[in-house]
Amino acid sequence: MSSTSDKIKGYANEAAGSVKETVGKVVGSDKTEIEGAAQKIKGEAQVATGKAKDAVKDGANKVADAINKKL
């Protein structure tokens, strides 16, 4: 998966998880609230993965640029 798709899916999971968590609180469903919190955390992890992929790619590009300048 690309970094962009990781981040998009992550933000979607964060949003859906927040909604589910709020609905669980409103209706008094501990199960739904917990599922929402877990989905939100999953989304946060996906976003972090996407950002990490971007950072690695940027670092590799900087190294490649530096090497090419020396050649």
Rounded Cα–Cα distance for residues 12 and 25 (Å): 20
* DSSP-assigned letters across all residues of 32-59: HHHHHHHHHHHHHHHHHHHHHHHHHHHH
pLDDT in tens, 2-26: 999 999 999 999 999 999 999 999 9
| pTM more than 0.95 | no
Indicate the domain borders of the chain.
3-70
